[in-house]
Amino acid sequence: MNRIHNTITLITGASSGIGEACAYHFASAGSHLILLARRNKSLLALKQSLQEQYPDINILTIECDVRNQPSVEQLLSNLPEEWKHIDTLINNAGLSRGLEKIQDGLIQNWEEMIDTNIKGLLYVSRTILPGMIERKKGNVINIASIAGRETYPFGNVYCATKSAARTLSEAMRIDVNGSNVRIMNIDPGMVETEFSLVRFHGDAERAKQVYKGMQPLTADDIAEIILFSVNRPPHVTIGDILILPTAQANTTTVYRET
């Protein structure tokens, strides 16, 4: 049964990786899409490609930095009437910056991760949740990470932000209890996207090494599971999922063919 058809899905961080893959999967199920990210050009290209494949859905793009609270509130509180009733929010926008010990850490990297992965997720949720609670209907999917369950060497602040995202999923589930709104926490392991490229500030060679000799997850692997989770009947909440590449046992144990 398709419970996604004709719903409205807001995806943050839709311009690449997991967010972009979610856009394709939800479009294929007939959901209208609100695509949000900073890179407007990428969003517009994605919109065009989706619209060619799925002409029956409507797509709204929003250029927005989730770290900018007034902008998040202004843009998401003043959506056109036909876009106001968001059924599903995928809190996916996020990033990691650098791999240094805390004693060597770059403050700007910390600020960027904390502001995006924790505060950005909160700003967007604060704007969207009240409407869902009022309508007694809605889904929030928070993309945390295996890094939020297990701290790994040099992961410090990124791990802390994802641990916070995980805690916020639990907190949201408590806070919306009784409203029928469903909160789902998704913890992926290694997924090959722009993630490592961003972590290493555009160093493509270093980013490639992260997945050397092993088969990582694809963004589609994650999007497929998110779509499945949202499509469960309303009385079922898939609260928490850890998704790993088979070659990855935990954050530090990864089998690689040499």
Contacts of 206 (CB under 8 A, 6+ apart): 196, 200
Q: How far is the CB of 121 from ligand 8X3 (least distance, A)?
A: 14
Among 146, 183, 186, 222, the residue binding ligand 8X3 under the rule CB under 6 A is: 146
Task: Identify each DSSP E strand in the chain by its residue range.
Answer: 8-12, 32-37, 59-63, 88-91, 139-143, 182-188, 240-243
Query: Is 162 one of the annotated active-site residues of the chain?
Result: yes
Work out whether 207 is an interface residue with ligand 8X3 (CB under 6 A).
Answer: no
- Give the range of 119-127, 131-139, 142-150, 228-236 binding ligand 8X3 by CB under 6 A: 142-150
| Amino acid identity, position 132 | M
Query: Is 158 one of the annotated active-site residues of the chain?
Result: yes
Number of residues that bind ligand 8X3 (CB under 6 A): 6
Is 231 exposed, middle or buried, given 0-12, 13-18 or 19+ CB atoms closer than 10 A? middle
Residue (of 145, 172, 182, 176) closest to 160 by Cα position: 145
Work out whether 156 is an interface residue with ligand 8X3 (CB under 6 A).
Answer: no
Q: How far is the CB of 83 from ligand NDP (least distance, A)?
A: 18
Work out whether 145 is an interface residue with ligand 8X3 (CB under 6 A).
Answer: yes
Binding site for ligand 8X3 (CB under 6 A): 145-147, 155, 190, 251
Residues assigned a catalytic role: 158, 162
